[in-house]
Amino acid sequence: MRRDQPRDRELGARLRAVRVEQAKLSLEAAAKLIGWSAAKLSRTENGRRMVTTEDVAVVLTTYKVPAAQREQMISDAQIGQQDGWWSRTIPGISPDLGTLAGYEQQAKALTDCSLLVVPGLLHTYAYAIGMLRAGGLSDTDAELRWMARLRRQQVLPGVEYRAFIGEAALHTPFGGAEALAEQLRALVSGYDRGLSIRLIPEHIPMHGLLHSWLLIESPISAPVLNVELIGSAVFVFDVEPYLQLLDMVDDCALSTSASRDKIVATMQGS
């Protein structure tokens, strides 16, 4: 089965917006004009099939979109077809990780929720390697995962990023005590980079936080949620339950200033 791609979801969402807001056509009427089945157009708009530049050109021509807008969308589709590191098969790296990186590249906002560990987008080298080795990976595979994680972290300066981290993560020394200390220092420096890092107090029962997850919001397509598993990942497209949970987390988490003070106090052994 073909794996859904972030690029196709975004292009599909944009084509749907043009159909509804500009062409003002129903799905069935539009499909008939294009010469496609309604099912094919639906899959295209929902990112369930590869959207080619030819598809974009045919659909927009049928919708009588102005030439400048049509050429811009075709150009965007061509750029999206160019390979990034996340679109290539890398030995030792799950294809799910490439899909995740693709979604992150197109995001306007990212929200991490993690009770027991520091989220990967905030990892330092020693902490990440220690955690990966603790998960049973060989030194070689751990290094490969770290390189992919480091590349993923490059999105942070350009997106709105929030992290909700359980207090327990501040006391779990993956890679040893010095690795944890370095990781905590990196969290503190994250505030200076404009990152929102907030702590979830211990002993707060929340069923939806039994696992870590990352909410990815795009300026064009619907949000998607990633749940990282051992050796793979799950992408959730019905994110409404998690949005409700996020409101609860936001209410109970410490403020950014109180969280920073707590991390500093932990570093100092208080």
Query: What local confidence, expressed as pLDDT, does residue 91 receive?
Result: 54
What value does the mean pLDDT take over residues 32-40? 93
What is the number of other CB atoms lying within 10 angstroms of the CB of residue 210?
8
Is residue 199 helix, strand or coil?
strand
What is the number of other CB atoms lying within 10 angstroms of the CB of residue 168?
15
Nearest to 234 by CA among 206, 210, 214, 209: 214
Q: Tell whether the model's pLDDT for residue 85 goes beyond 50.
A: no
Query: What local confidence, expressed as pLDDT, does residue 1 receive?
Result: 45
Whole-model pTM over 0.85: no
**pLDDT tens-digit readout, 138-168:** 888 888 888 888 888 989 888 999 999 999 9
For residue 250 the two structure tokens come to 């936001």
The answer to whether 253 touches 164, Cβ cutoff 8 Å, is: yes
Give the H or E element holding residue 60. helix 53-62
Is residue 4 helix, strand or coil?
coil
3-class SS letters over 70-137: HHHHHHHHHHHHCCCHHHCCCCCCCHHHHHHHHHHHCCCEEEEEECCCCCHHHCCHHHHHHHHHHCCC
**pLDDT tens-digit readout, 177-228:** 999 999 999 999 999 999 999 999 987 776 667 788 999 998 877 899 999 8
One-letter amino acid at 34 equals I
What's the CA gap between 231 and 93, in Å, rounded?
A: 9
**Domains observed in the chain:** 6-80 (1.10.260.40), 95-269 (3.30.870)
Q: How confident is the model at residue 101 (pLDDT cuts 50, 70, 90)?
A: confident
